[in-house]
Structure 1
Amino acid sequence: MKRPFILASLLFLVLGVVTGCQNKNVDYRQAAADPEFLHQSVRELTDIIMHDIFSPPVASRIYAYTQLAAYEVLVHDYPAYKSLAGQLNGYKGIPQPAADAVYCFPLASLSAYLTVGRNLIFSTDMLDAYEEQLFAKYRKMGVPEDVFTRSVRYGQLAAKSIMAYAAEDGYKQTRGFRHTVSQEPGRWVPTPPAYMDAVEPFWFKVRPFVLDSCSQFAPAKPSVYSTDKNSDFYKEVMQVYETTNNMTDEQRQIASFWDCNPFVMHTTGHVMYATKKITPGGHWMGIAGIASRKVAADMMQTMEAYTRVAISLADGFISCWDEKYRSDRVRPETAINMLVDENWVPLLQTPPFPEYPSGHSVISNAAAVVLTDLYGPSFQYEDSTELAYGLPVRSFSSFEQAAEEAALSRLYGGIHFMPAIVNGSEEGKQVGAHIVSNLKTRN
């Protein structure tokens, strides 16, 4: 008499287990696509880039390839979005996942991100430790072991393909070359306190992602160097000198907020030491994250923002560096010390590369155009990117306003003449507009 009851109980138990597994699968799929995992991964990479002291151009390259790898994998989970294959110079795409297999694409995406990152940084142990913690969270949320393993391996396969693409961009061929310092007046020379060699003099040879060439949006030529007090150049020199000698507290705060010098040297007596800061690209990647969080963007929308910004930064630096070493412009510190005041020192430490155009002006405006296209022209936000480095939060009414402030900060810092700021800003806007017009992430 009890057998039917026992059979019914067993059937109920089996159905319960099956249903529980199905619910668990639904839960893990939803949990796996939490954009916070991507935010945390970008933050971790930014910290390592700062720790390893990568120059701003090299940092932008790291951001671009890691984001490309992650984007190309995650897009398989979102039919409304499209691959960048055929849209980026020389890029043909990644291997496709098996059609009859189950993947956790958010996990595979982050696997690709971290694997590419590991190939482009020095402190791989830091990324290894982070990856271990991240993967433990995915296991804890209930990703089946076969799906977990398959997803991680697919991410690694995609990363291998992206690294093969990166190997063809000319970066390796630019290693080891130094800039020859010219003795001609008005040309760039190393600046105190470290008198470092010029950074990445052959960066213009690196393949751009979307631009047709490094010189596609070359800015107007800078003013002709002159010691004549009535010349345009001398007036530009005096503008920097007078501005920095009469700054308000607000202007000083703006200069410090946008400093983003990855390697600042300090001297105390006979002792010299350095402090590390986030790169300009890292700051704008942070802004992309802040904007995505504010609108509660899902993982794919967040990935789209990070990826488009990263590519705009990479192409912005290639465009900017092309003109920097063509014009080979003297820095305000050198010109003012020679022509006006030998004891004058800029508020910010002069970066080790030619003056024209302003890198901040180019890349900030390029990123701002891309973010405006995604989130609108009147996007208000609180920029807390520099909070971790001891600087207060600043409020902005738009990305454009932030880019304008970032550009002008270089005058307040005493490290750029106004034409480098104005023309650099225009160059950056053109780079950003070209990316918006030519890089399509949605079907």
Structure 2
Amino acid sequence: MALGAGLALLAAGSTLVLPAQTAAAAAPKYDGDPTQYWNGVLLEMFRQAGGSQGSPGQLARSAAMMNAAIYDGESSYQNTFYTMKYKPYLSAPKYPNLGQGPDEEERIIGRTAYNILHHLYPNQTAYLDKMFLDRFGTPPTQFDIIDTEIVSTIYNNMIKARTNDGSESQRLYNLENVPGAWRPTGESGCTLSSDAVTPRWGEVKPFTMSSGSEYRPTTPGSFADYATLLASPAYAYQVEQVRLLGGRGATQRTTEQTAIATFWANDLGPDAGDPSIKGTFKPPGQLLDATIRIAKARITNKYENARLFALVSLAMADSAIGEWDVKYLTRIDLWRPVSAIHNGIDSSWQPLSAARDGSPLTPCFPAWASGHAAFAGAWAAVMKGYFGSDTMNFTVSTEDPASPQKTRTFTSFSQAAQEDADSRVYLGVHYPWDASDGLKLGDDVATRAVLPRLGPVGS
């Protein structure tokens, strides 16, 4: 059977002739946990991802596909040797074996991760091949019986599950064109209705939820239409909070709040004019990076690592689907604060959020609710459920060039998640209710859909 990159071809019925080996294989370098390693590889691919490939939903989907497949591969290993403790994501078939082979877990995890990433990012094959070679000492096309035994099954299961899941929809957004309804902000890259980012993502097939609307919060303030919403004191309060705390030069935003705003941003993609300038690891990547840091300090078991990263990634992927359902598919597609404040309040106001060149930067999709907050709520709920406590001392890093701090330290998962959510108000791109509703949605997805899905066998 063809291996490595060839798995993707064989899934479509093709064959691949492997080149003859012309050089002796180098010794493998299995430094650290394999799931942590491949998530580090994934973060670099996030930095290089631009356009729709770098959208929050697409990134979260990629992480879920890779980490859930890794987890199922590891679960198959555990099932084969009668040590499986947790329910797999899709399945954990036993495979033929003559006793455990050398580095078997490492090979299952690495070859599964490689093939999923090759499928998702064919434009980054050179980097991916290098990272495989660095770890294994052989190219991904080198024959390994473990591909025949189990990796091809795990790979094909995941690809089949996500084929035609709605993630490739090209349908454009139709503007409602009434006050309060979202419209392009006029900032770079957001001038036309066709610039709206992934407007059908709320219809993508969920990984664990029954539908994208399963944990949908009520419309902001439970308002049924834009006119009633805009006439309410609750809306006026929301707008005023962002105006006072989220604008450039805002006098009521503290120095600490300014630091929080930029620390959690990480919204920059690669520079289209200069390929040497990478993007940040984006919001899902920041939380995966935090997970890597925490896991390195506390988890040595390969099975436990695989499960943790699957839980985190599945929760973020379904939170993105739930959030985009809220943003585009409810009664209120709420306009961004910059649009609201320019509408008769202060036409000169600009959000603190900025692009590389200093120009204003507002994500090109509706405000309600916050994707950052949903990711954070999902992540915190998984971490609390996995470790059995909200209390933990840990450090999170940032790659946003505007941040004066490179790391921040927290004493609980909830503290970090709340700060992440609040940062969007301080940055001037979200209202307070975007943050609170996003946090709750993410928490609901994690606690009610994801954690039970990968719970103990028999639960």
TM surpasses 0.5: yes
Q: Residue in 1 aligned with 2:245?
A: 243
Q: TM-score, normalised by structure 2?
A: 0.79
Q: Residue in 1 aligned with 2:17?
A: none
CA contact (8 A) 1:262 1:279 kept: yes
Alignment of 1:261-280 (within 5 A): 261-263=267-269, 276-280=279-283
Alignment pair present for 1:377 and 2:390: yes
Q: Residue in 2 aligned with 1:305?
A: 308
The one-letter code matched in structure 1 to 2:348 is N
Q: Residue in 1 aligned with 2:22?
A: none
Larger Rg: 1
Alignment of 1:3-22 (within 5 A): none
The one-letter code matched in structure 2 to 1:47 is E
Q: Residue in 1 aligned with 2:293?
A: 290
Q: 1:47 aligns with which of 44, 49, 67?
A: 44
Change (3 A) 1:388 1:442: farther
Q: Residue in 2 aligned with 1:211?
A: 209
Q: Residue in 2 aligned with 1:110?
A: 110
Distance of 2:350 and 2:234 partners within structure 1: 22
Identity of aligned residues (%): 24
Distance of 1:50 and 1:254 partners within structure 2: 21
Q: Residue in 2 aligned with 1:186?
A: 180
> Which stretch shows the higher mean deviation, 55-64 or 254-263?
254-263
Report Cα offsets for 1:297-335 as digits up to 9, x if no partner.
322211111110000001101111101002211000111
The one-letter code matched in structure 2 to 1:254 is I
> Which stretch shows the higher mean deviation, 71-80 or 284-293?
71-80
Alignment pair present for 1:404 and 2:418: yes
Distance of 1:274 and 1:188 partners within structure 2: 31
Report Cα offsets for 1:158-209 as digits up to 9, x if no partner.
212311221142323x2x2111122111111112132251111111221111
Q: 1:82 aligns with which of 62, 82, 86?
A: 86
Give unpaired runs (5+ residues) of structure 2. 1-26, 354-360
> Which stretch shows the higher mean deviation, 44-53 or 314-323?
44-53
Change (3 A) 1:278 1:362: same
Distance of 2:93 and 2:300 partners within structure 1: 27
Alignment pair present for 1:435 and 2:449: yes
Secondary structure at 2:144 match in 1: helix
Residues matched between the structures, number: 396
> Which stretch shows the higher mean deviation, 53-62 or 122-131?
122-131
Alignment pair present for 1:36 and 2:40: no
Alignment of 1:72-221 (within 5 A): 72-78=72-78, 79-85=83-89, 91=90, 93=91, 96-100=94-98, 102-103=100-101, 104-121=104-121, 122-136=123-137, 149-153=144-148, 154-172=150-168, 174=169, 176-191=170-185, 192-195=187-190, 197-221=195-219
Which has the larger share of helix?
1
Give unpaired runs (5+ residues) of structure 1. 1-27, 86-90, 140-145
Distance of 2:212 and 2:441 partners within structure 1: 12
Alignment pair present for 1:367 and 2:379: yes
The one-letter code matched in structure 2 to 1:427 is L
Q: How far off is 1:151 after superposition? A: 2.3
Structure 1's consecutive aligned runs of 4 or more residues displaced over 4 angstroms after TM superposition are: 223-230, 264-267, 387-391
Q: Residue in 1 aligned with 2:356?
A: none
How large is the Cα RMSD of the aligned pairs?
3.0
Q: Residue in 1 aligned with 2:71?
A: 71
Q: How far off is 1:411 after superposition? A: 0.5
Distance of 1:265 and 1:412 partners within structure 2: 25
Distance of 1:125 and 1:264 partners within structure 2: 18
Secondary structure at 1:380 match in 2: strand
